[in-house]
């Protein structure tokens, strides 16, 4: 839940994280997720408005995620947005979750100023728990140039973290431990890395890690955990950066966005900056608070539609469709 001004300034951004609720299950339980959304959503909206001293007559519109995602959770957000839109007499617009991630760097707040080139063509690497794609973005058109053919990058991190006994969601834990490990200690496969196309795959890497870990004793895993994490992380990042490099070379685009939950990864951030420097490109990486799921990115992605009057009809439903 976020309040974002017409000038894309984030006035407040509140996150009701459910990480601790789902942690015992090792992943998101859809039914529990939507029940928690139901109890969290209205208090969070009240808190945001009250903290900023903003009344409903100052709200130009409501942006809400309607696709793709867990349908139960989408319904909670959508029904709340539609009900508020009707009762407060404001327009609402359904937003694609991935468009939200792609627009995340184009906000600003007290500690972060986004780049000014959101109207120019750019390349976007979006890496989250459910999606991993490379897009070219031009004049509001989002074209998929490449995609994972199996697991998303975040999923690859989370499943690996589980194998080495780290708690859910494991991506950030792997990142933290990797700092103490040797990225060259173990060799993992990098499927499709040499091919010219921009698709990639993580399931072979995950199976190779599984086979390696199965052969190790619990003591050995504990002892080598940092090396395992560092080697695995380096492989995932190398695959992503190699494909992003090819995408830049193939399109010649000079502006790059890297976003989504996995863009919080410290090695990916460092390597993406290196790539941009090497190619003389501008890079936009959202600050960590706008990498993982948040309301500000959804508000930002819906802002132009609201300002242009391109709002949604009240029969808009949730959708599993992945095209933006």
Interface contacts to Zn ion, rule CB under 5 A: 128, 293
- Which residue of the chain is nearest Zn ion when measured via CB? 128
Query: Which H or E run contains 297?
Result: helix 295-307
In Å, how far from its chain's centre is CA 134?
13
Closer to ligand KG4 by CB, 78 or 90: give it: 78
Q: What residue ranges in the chain does DSSP mark as E strands?
A: 2-4, 10-13, 62-67, 92-96, 108-109, 112-113, 122-127, 132-138, 141-147, 255-259, 282-284
Residue 158 C-beta: closest distance to Zn ion, Å: 13
What is the distance between the alpha carbons of residues 268 and 276, in angstroms, rounded to a whole number?
12
Residue 169 found at the interface with ligand KG4 (CB under 6 A): yes
The CB-of-265 to ligand KG4 minimum distance in angstroms stands at 3
Q: Which of 235, 292, 301, 303 binds ligand KG4 (CB under 6 A)?
A: 292
Our finding on whether 295 is near ligand KG4 (CB under 6 A) is no
Nearer to ligand KG4, 114 or 171 (CB): 171
Binding to ligand KG4 (CB under 6 A) within 232-291 occurs at 260-262, 264-265
Closest CA to 131 of 239, 259, 218, 248: 259
Phi and psi, residue 66, nearest 5°: -120, 0
Instruction: Tell me how far the alpha carbon of residue 21 is from its chain's centroid.
Output: 20
Total residues contacting ligand KG4 (rule CB under 6 A)? 18
Contact of residue 95 among ligand KG4, Zn ion, none (CB under 5-8 Å per partner type): none
Q: What minimum distance in Å lies between the beta carbon of 316 and ligand KG4?
A: 21
CB 281 within 8 A of CB 248: yes
Cα torsion angle, 91, 97, 99, 104, sign: positive
Residues numbered 118 to 137 that lie near ligand KG4 (CB under 6 A) are 128-130
Task: Return the one option of ligand KG4, Zn ion, none that residue 292 interacts with (CB less than 5 to 8 A, by type).
Answer: ligand KG4
Residue with tokens 């609720």: 21
SS3 194: coil
Chosen residue from 171, 286, 302, 318 binding ligand KG4 by CB under 6 A: 171
Could you tell me how many residues make up the chain?
A: 324
* Binding partner at 154 among ligand KG4, Zn ion, none, C-beta below 5 to 8 Å by kind: ligand KG4
Query: Can you give the binding site for ligand KG4, defined by CB under 6 A?
Result: 128-130, 154, 157-158, 169-172, 175, 260-262, 264-265, 292-293
């Amino acid at each position: 839940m976020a309040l974002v001004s017409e000038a894309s300034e984030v006035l407040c951004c509140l996150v009701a994280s459910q990480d601790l609720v789902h942690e015992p299950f090792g992943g998101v339980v859809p039914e529990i997720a939507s029940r928690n959304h139901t109890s969290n959503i209205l208090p969070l909206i009240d808190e945001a408005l009250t903290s900023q001293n903003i009344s409903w007559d100052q709200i130009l519109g409501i942006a809400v995620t309607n696709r793709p995602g867990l349908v139960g959770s989408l319904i909670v957000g959508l029904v709340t947005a539609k009900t508020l839109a009707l009762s407060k007499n404001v327009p609402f617009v359904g937003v694609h979750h991935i468009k939200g991630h792609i627009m995340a760097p184009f906000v600003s707040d007290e500690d972060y100023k986004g780049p000014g080139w959101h109207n120019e063509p750019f390349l976007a690497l979006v890496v989250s728990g459910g999606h991993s794609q490379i897009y070219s973005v031009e004049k509001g058109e989002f074209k998929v140039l490449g995609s994972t053919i199996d697991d998303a990058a975040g999923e690859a991190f989370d499943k690996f973290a589980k194998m080495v006994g780290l708690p859910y969601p494991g991506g950030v834990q792997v990142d933290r431990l990797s700092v103490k490990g040797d990225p060259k200690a173990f060799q993992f496969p990098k499927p499709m890395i040499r091919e010219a196309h921009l698709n990639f795959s993580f399931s072979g890497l995950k199976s190779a890690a599984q086979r390696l870990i199965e052969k190790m004793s619990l003591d050995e895993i504990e002892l080598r955990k940092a090396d395992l994490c560092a080697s695995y992380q380096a492989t995932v990042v190398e695959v992503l950066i190699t494909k992003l490099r090819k995408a830049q070379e193939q399109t010649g685009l000079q502006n790059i966005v890297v976003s989504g939950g996995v863009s919080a990864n410290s090695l990916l951030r460092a390597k993406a900056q290196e790539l941009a420097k090497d190619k003389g490109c501008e890079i936009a990486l959202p600050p960590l608070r706008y990498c993982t799921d948040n309301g500000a990115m959804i508000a930002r992605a819906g802002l132009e539609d609201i300002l242009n009057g391109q709002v949604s009809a009240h029969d808009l439903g949730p959708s599993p469709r992945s095209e933006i």
